[in-house]
Chain A
């Protein structure tokens, strides 16, 4: 089998096992896994930029929130259907990432991190400022009656799980395809040695810009899907914390691997979920994990597997 078909097989196997697992999971856990799958879409979008292109953003919550509010506000005030709402969310996230990418990519390294952080913070504050429409920190609920696609109820637990899985699968296959393509390999080249990539004739700036747009739009898709499936839109999702989460998932699971984000999100979500039953200081886990990962395992779980066991891991 070639590397490409092995990668595809791995992705299809992952999707099939996630479908199978639903039938053995208790309802509480299938609810969590549905949530994790949506957050994994977010982390996969983040990973394209951080793991594959080597650009560390501290402001992806802006893109997540753009998708979420793009869909949420459109459904709330324009009474759009879920499908058109989703398109509105994607379009808004794509627009925001195009603009932010254009501006932020004039910087690099630490400045890029701070600029993205500042834009995201400005976005969060803007949501609070427009509290009349966004309901600020309190947020608003998308009514169950609106979350129906011709009789198909998106708030039903089974439907929700499989819609989340279907959208996750689409994104996983898209990412799998991108990283095997010439475009994806160029992103890796930029991550590895930007100067050399430029001197091989690649338009580095343009590639980075596309990477921000794809990454931002996929993160926005996650935000829109989250709002649609769980019926809630709130400013919490635009806070710095939500910019840190995908970084944490990706670092833990393995930056620059296609399934790393899933592993990281599952692991971390459960860790936080379990610890929040014992203490309200559950973010301590996130902090400790960040420090230990940077110190001892910067490649993450899947990165370690790739280095020592399965060299072809996509």
Chain B
């Protein structure tokens, strides 16, 4: 393939990673923004979503779309409930102390991951996409006869991949409407602004926190259900998305949802594009160093405004 078509393909793959990453990172971001909790176990909630999707689809017969639709609804709710329970049993009891919370969520990471290993096993398992039509993409070339259109071999995508992008956008818009237009969303944002004040106004902060933690985890699970027909479910699949989501949240400005989405598009696209052309290891090194230096020299994020 020539450079042009190759770049188009890389951009498409990048858009899919960006869409999925935006969902994961927004989940991490609202948890940090509202609860001030750095959830290291976030990647495991993502993994659990994929594993549950496999479990559900393999137990439901008929057309693959039936099982998948069921998974799309049930898996995020189940993962969200597990997260809310973890919040209730663990995080609430250590009073959301920032450092102890990180240590506890590291523990949670191991528990979820290892329990999955014990029950689900070490193999990667596929989930069939509900629909999966290949779409060949055309390319234009300026040859001796002027512009002409042709169909380069290998330049294609699937209807499912495009649907993932659309689904992610719909969910993010829905989340935005929920946070800005509904009473529950307003209460969440009020809790973010001032916890004590919210308590004083009779807002049930504990319930809100459990809800937010569940919502964050549910978004990660939703992302993984969407991605599992492309990627397969595996008990170690949470590590890389966690790292990328961290990178996105930090570069976008901790706790800022618009910043997070912009950063997710930036990182997701460039991760897709860079790893097509360069060594993925080098790309990861540069990304981790970028996070470290952003935190050191621009803690408000690349896009946030300085505090003063």
Contacts and interface: CB of A to CB of B under 8 A. Distances in A.
Given A126-B285, A288-B107, A283 B291 contact: no
B292 interface: yes
B292 A287 contact: no
A25 interface: no
Interface string A114-140: 110011011001101100000000000
Interface residues of B, number: 39
B72 interface: no
Contacts of A282: 114
Contacts of B98: 109-110
A294 B103 contact: yes
A284 B108 CA distance: 9
Contact of A128 (B93, B104, B250, B281): B281
23 contacts: A107-B295, A107-B299, A110-B98, A110-B99, A114-B292, A115-B295, A118-B289, A119-B288, A121-B288, A129-B279, A280-B117, A280-B122, A281-B118, A283-B110, A287-B110, A287-B112, A288-B107, A289-B107, A290-B107, A291-B104, A291-B108, A294-B100, A294-B107
Interface string A98-110: 0000011011011
A48 interface: no
Interface in B54-110: 90, 93-94, 98-100, 102-104, 106-110
B6 interface: no
Listed residue (A113, A286, A287, A290) with the most chain B CB atoms within 10 angstroms of its CB: A287
B29 interface: no
A125 B284 contact: yes
B38 interface: yes
Contacts of A247: 103
A106 B295 CA distance: 9
Given A107-B295, A118-B292, A294 B38 contact: no
A113 B101 CA distance: 12
Given A247-B103, A294-B94, A111 B118 contact: no
B307 interface: no
The 7 closest A-B pairs by CB, nearest first: A287-B110, A290-B107, A284-B114, A291-B107, A287-B111, A281-B114, A118-B292
B99 to A, nearest CB: 5
Contacts of B112: 287
A290 B296 contact: no
B224 interface: no
Given A56-B99, A111-B295, A290 B104 contact: yes
Given A106-B296, A291-B107, A295-B93, 15 more contacts: A103-B292, A109-B99, A113-B102, A122-B285, A122-B288, A251-B103, A281-B118, A287-B108, A287-B111, A287-B114, A289-B107, A291-B104, A293-B103, A294-B90, A294-B100
A298 B295 CA distance: 28
A290 B122 contact: no
Given A288-B107, A289-B107, A298-B100, A114 B93 contact: no
Contacts of A56: 99, 102-103
Given A121-B243, A287-B108, A114 B288 contact: no
A122 B295 CA distance: 15
Contacts of A294: 90, 94, 100, 103-104, 107
B209 interface: no
B113 interface: yes
A244 interface: yes
A125 B117 CA distance: 25
Interface string B160-183: 000000000000000000000000
B184 interface: no
Nearest to A281: B114
B296 A107 contact: yes
Nearest to A55: B99
Interface residues of A, number: 39
Contact of A122 (B109, B113, B289): B289
Contacts of A298: 100
B110 A290 contact: yes
Nearest to A243: B106
B45 interface: no
Listed residue (B99, B114, B292) with the most chain A CB atoms within 10 angstroms of its CB: B292
Contacts of A5: none
A280 B246 CA distance: 28
A239 B285 CA distance: 14
A202 B245 CA distance: 38
Interface string A151-181: 0000000000000000000000000000000
A283 B113 CA distance: 9
A279 interface: yes
Contacts of B200: none
B115 interface: yes
A58 B242 CA distance: 15
B282 interface: yes
Contact of A115 (B93, B100, B292): B292
A243 B104 CA distance: 15
A125 B108 contact: no
Contact of A287 (B107, B243, B279): B107
Nearest to A106: B296
A26 B231 CA distance: 48
A105 to B, nearest CB: 9
Contacts of A106: 296-297
A179 to B, nearest CB: 21
Contacts of B117: 280-281
A56 B108 CA distance: 18
Nearest to B86: A291
A244 B41 CA distance: 14
